[in-house]
Amino acid sequence: MADLAAAAGLTPEEAKEARRRAGRELNSLEWAILGVQWSEHCAYKHSKELLRSLPKEGASVMAGPGASAGVLDLGDGWACAAKIESHNHPSAVEPLQGAATGLGGIMRDVLAMGARPAAFLDSLRFGPLDDPRSAFLARGVVAGVGHYGNCVGVPTVGGDVYYHPSYQRNPLVNAMCVGFLRHEEMRSAAAAGEGNVFLLLGAATGRDGIGGAAFASVELQADASQDRPRVQVGDPFFGKLLIEATLEILRDLKVVAIQDLGAGGLAGASIEMCHQGGVGAEIELAQVPLRAQDLVPPEILLSESQERMLLCLRPEDVAPAQAVARRYGIEAAAIGRITAKPAMRFLFHGQCLSELDTAIYAEAPLRHLPEGMPVGHRALLTYDAPAARQDLLSLLGLPDLSDRSPIYSTYDQDVGLRTVVRPGLDAAVLRAALGAPGVAVTTDQNPRLCALSPELGAEHAVAEAARNVMARGAAPIGLTNCLNLPSPEHPEGAAALRAVVAGIGHAARELGVPVTGGNVSLYNEAEGVAIVPTPVIGMIGLLPDPEHAIGVGPAVPGLEVLLLGDFAPHLGGSVFAELKSLGQSEPAQPDYEGLRRMRAVLENDAAREAIALLHDVADGGLMTALAEIALYTGLGLDLALGQADALTLFGEASAQFVALSGDPGALMAAAERAGVNCRTLGRTTAGGLRIQSDLGVWEYGQEELQRAWRREA
């Protein structure tokens, strides 16, 4: 019997604990379910304790960690549901379907809160593009995001991408979904009411993706192609029908509880819904609509076939729900009923295969993280105008800074008519509906900083995400995080996990932004190479009037260019230091006080209205930020920078912005009141980018910048 437990991926201690709790030996079905439910992917057994330390409280939080997705109040009765999740290992094996089902899975989490999925963001990490395998994976993943998002009718409005050798064999695909709902439409996953019915809605169940959660909970093997059957297959057309049918059922009927079928399939969803509601269920597996008729009970329970939702309904609502499903041509089967006794009874053609307390499955024993430990040095150089001129062009052409439009122009960015500002600069802007409030959304993390210090890197990820939504004039009100890390069973991995959670917690507290949930992806290593700790932050910024967000109107020649914030750049962890092989030193801590003051400036209506465009100084420093403004607007900039050296031109700051303004007086007054330094750099023009400094004078034509940025050299 011990081998059944081991085959399910449980340690001898875990198997012993399971027997102790059950008071008996478990059968093969129970071991199989337990193997999935107690996997890292489902149970968060290495990270649960740590994650409790993150701040969860906030004035806007309507649902936080533990719910299918976080929900934030936007005002006027509107709310925003958002969550980010990883789909790394499947994407390493089958990039197109891996990425596609990553979008589908996170979309259904948002749907399960009662929200209409309104936008995706994709945060991607690949090895260097000159490696053919990395280029293949990058192409496949981008195609997969487009394949699913475009067809399902949810626009992809943002994201981020970095290239780093540690991702060569283990790419990262993190997908975020944002949805909108009215307050009264919010739903939970807590099943309730003895005699209520479990309705399985959506696609028929097949053999795909069996054991996917367990696959995500071990290191990738060199020949990962044999794991292909563990990758699920998405069908965005069916996903679209599922969205419409689900929202119609939620609107017209009294749905008691709802959850999507993700990791652990039907077993996972039913166990979690019952455990949240403190109830049990009796489920007849013969009632589950099958795509392959010869599926056996463990396969039916553990299949991760996509495009399925589990609903808990009152008996009288079952037939009306089935009528809606029929109209959309999708399955809706009553497969079980809720019992007061908190136990899961699984039946097959009336025969009871298993009865076990819900809590035994749902409460995995937690694992202790091994103790562990990390890095740095520095250099400097003399500098002149010709070098500065060339260095900017070189930076713009690096894969980490170059034009992202070849990626996002393959995504439908507009469907739904909610996209006020499309992807490109800082954060996209969405409205919840016609005339409703909206949000600015972004994902961020910088592998260079995280490689030097996972903790400071995590802090900077939060700071950068906050800056990006602030650049649209939005107030950061909540974040969702996806923690991509190597194996927690090694001391370094365990230390990195602790460090990124500490960093996010610290930054979130400093900025007053609650963490509304997210996802942990461990075991991101392949062939002996561990990824750089990659805590991706998805940030939601509130915009009461999204159609008047900063950057919606056109920028024109003749605007004043201003630099806001203390000019305190660092070369530690900068792209410039990498470009010039300077050696890396640990980055500085983000300037939280500077960010709080900048928030005060942006809370001033007159100051916000005075800003035509706002862009933060981040990767590549001030020069890159200025060039990006020229590239994004098509305008020229005529600038006098005064004292300049490599540090001031290319050092990276954490609380600094460049603003374009037609009414600089209002902005300067607000900045002064908030204690934010503000100085004029020059004006926008119809020409190119012209820099005057004590290094000398140099210029770029718009065409020249465009060519460098598009890597057309």
Partner 1 sequence: MRADILVFPGSNCDVDTEIALREALPGWQVTRQWHDGADLSGSQFCVLPGGFAHGDYLRAGALAARSPAIEGVRALIARGGLVLGICNGFQVLVEAGILPGAFQANTVQHFICRDVALRVERAASPFLDAFAAGDVLTLPIAHQEGNYRLTEDEYRRLKDEGRIAFTYCGPHGETAGDYNPNGSYASVAGVLAEGGRVLGMMPHPERAAWPAIGRTDGLRILAAGLATAMQGGTL
Positions annotated as catalytic residues are: 41, 87
Q: Which of residues 424-453 bind partner 1 (CB under 8 A)?
A: 434
Count the neighbouring beta carbons within 10 Å of the beta carbon of residue 669. 16
Is 151 one of the binding residues for partner 1 (CB under 8 A)? Answer: yes
Contact, 538 vs 443, CB < 8 A? yes
Q: State how far the Cα of 615 lies from the Cα of 467, in Å rounded to an integer.
A: 8
Tell me the two tokens of residue 126.
């690949």
Angle at 68 between CA 65 and CA 70, to 5 degrees: 50
320 binds partner 1 (CB under 8 A): no
We find the least distance from the C-beta atom of residue 324 to partner 1, in angstroms, to be: 12
Residues that bind partner 1 (rule: CB under 8 A) add up to a total of 32
Q: Which of 66, 386, 554, 642 binds partner 1 (CB under 8 A)?
A: 554
706 makes contact with partner 1 (CB under 8 A): no
Binding flag, residue 158, partner 1 (CB under 8 A)? no
Q: 321 burial class (0-12, 13-18, 19+ CB within 10 angstroms)?
A: buried
From 63, 67, 152, 644, residue interacting with partner 1 (rule: CB under 8 A): 152
Q: Which of 415, 555, 579, 669 binds partner 1 (CB under 8 A)?
A: 415
Least separation in angstroms between CB 399 and partner 1: 19
| Closest distance to partner 1 from the beta carbon of 636 (Å) | 18
Phi, psi of 523 (to 5 degrees): 65, 30
Within 5-64, which residues bind partner 1 (CB under 8 A)? none
Binding of partner 1 by 237 (CB under 8 A): yes
170, 447 Cβ separation under 8 angstroms? no
Is there a contact between 544 and 441 (Cβ–Cβ < 8 Å)? Answer: no
CA distance 289 to 497: 41
Beta bridge partner(s), residue 80: 72, 180
Longest Cα–Cα distance of the chain, Å, equals: 85
Per CB under 8 A, 146 contacts partner 1:
yes
Cα 330 to Cα 308: distance, rounded to the nearest angstrom = 10
| Minimum distance, C-beta of residue 81 to partner 1, in the bound complex (Å) | 19
Choice between 154 and 258, CB closer to partner 1: 154
- 251 counts as binding partner 1 under rule CB under 8 A: no
Cβ of residue 175: shortest distance to partner 1, in angstroms? 17
Q: Which is nearer to partner 1, 126 or 238 (CB)?
A: 238
Output the CA–CA distances (angstroms, integers) from residue 702 to 84, 270, 313, 616, 706, in the order listed: 37, 58, 60, 21, 6
Binding mask 501-540 for partner 1 (x = CB under 8 A): ----------------------------------------
Residue placing its CB nearer to partner 1 in the complex, 186 or 433: 433
Measured in whole angstroms, the distance separating CA 451 from the mean position of its chain's CA atoms is 20
| 212 binding partner 1? (CB under 8 A) | no
Rounded to a whole number of angstroms, the minimum distance from the CB of residue 226 to partner 1 is 28
**Stretch of 148-156, 449-457, 484-492, 690-698 lying at the interface with partner 1 (CB under 8 A):** 148-156
Query: 215 or 408: whose CB is closer to partner 1?
Result: 408
CA distance 17 to 11: 10
Indicate the angle between helix axes 592-603 and 454-470, nearest 10 degrees. 10
Task: By CB under 8 A, tell whether 252 contacts partner 1.
Answer: no
To partner 1, the closest distance from the beta carbon of 146 in angstroms equals 5
Residue from 19, 28, 150, 567 touching partner 1 (CB under 8 A): that is 150
Token readout for 142 is: 């981008």
Other C-beta atoms within 10 Å of 553: how many? 11
Exposure on the CB side of residue 128, measured as CA atoms within 13 A: 4
Does 240 engage in binding with partner 1 (CB under 8 A)?
yes
User: Among 79-87, 105-113, 160-168, 401-409, which window interacts with partner 1 (CB under 8 A)?
Assistant: 401-409
* DSSP H or E run through 648: helix 646-650
Residue 709 C-beta: closest distance to partner 1, Å: 16
Using CB under 8 A as the binding rule, whether residue 411 contacts partner 1 is answered as yes
Taking the least distance from each CB to partner 1, the nearer of 146 and 493 is 146
Which helix (H) or strand (E) segment is 336 a member of? Answer: strand 331-339
**Could you write out the DSSP letters of every residue in 130-178?**
TSHHHHHHHHHHHHHHHHHHHHHT--EEEEEEEE-GGGSSS-EEEEEEE
- Which of 128, 386, 544, 553 contacts partner 1 by CB under 8 A? 553
Task: Please state the closest distance from residue 157 (CB atom) to partner 1, in A.
Answer: 11
Provide the binding-site residues for partner 1, judged by CB under 8 A.
143, 146, 150-153, 235-238, 240-241, 327-329, 405, 408-417, 420, 434, 547, 552-554
